[in-house]
């Protein structure tokens, strides 16, 4: 999936390493808890930043969560939250 951050198109994907980074960074025993938070709309802005940051790094970008928190994401915070949820959902889709 693509995001425009500070005017630059970036690719985001949740690799296995990015998923492991999320578990550790968000203090979740598994990603199921994070998925449940997004499904119930109980996610925090730090969840969005962590998801997008891990996904962007999984897609090859060199960006820290701190830099991402200060960046301009095209579409604003709601677009960022939607992208994070979509990124998480795509990580658990079984290929056909």
Classify residue 21 by its DSSP letter.
Answer: H
Q: What gap in Å lies between CA 6 and CA 42, rounded to an integer? A: 27
Q: Could you report the per-residue pLDDT of 26-84, keeping only the tens digit for each?
A: 877 777 777 787 788 888 899 899 999 999 999 999 999 999 999 999 999 999 999 99
SS3 49: helix
- Domain annotation covers residue 96: no
**Token pair in block for residue 20:** 């492991």
Q: What's the pLDDT band for 95 if we cut at 50, 70, 90?
A: low
Q: Could you report the per-residue pLDDT of 34-47, keeping only the tens digit for each?
A: 778 778 888 889 98
- Domain annotation covers residue 32: yes
Domain that holds residue 10: 2-91
Number of domains within the chain = 1
């Amino acid at each position: 999936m693509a995001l425009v951050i500070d005017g630059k198109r970036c690719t985001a994907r949740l690799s296995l390493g990015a998923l492991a980074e999320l578990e550790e960074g968000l203090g979740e025993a598994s990603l199921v808890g994070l998925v449940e938070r997004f499904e119930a709309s109980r996610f925090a802005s730090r969840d969005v930043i962590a998801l997008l940051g891990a996904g962007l790094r999984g897609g090859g970008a060199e960006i820290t969560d701190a830099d991402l928190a200060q960046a301009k994401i095209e579409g604003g915070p709601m677009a960022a939250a939607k992208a994070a949820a979509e990124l998480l959902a795509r990580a658990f889709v079984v290929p056909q």
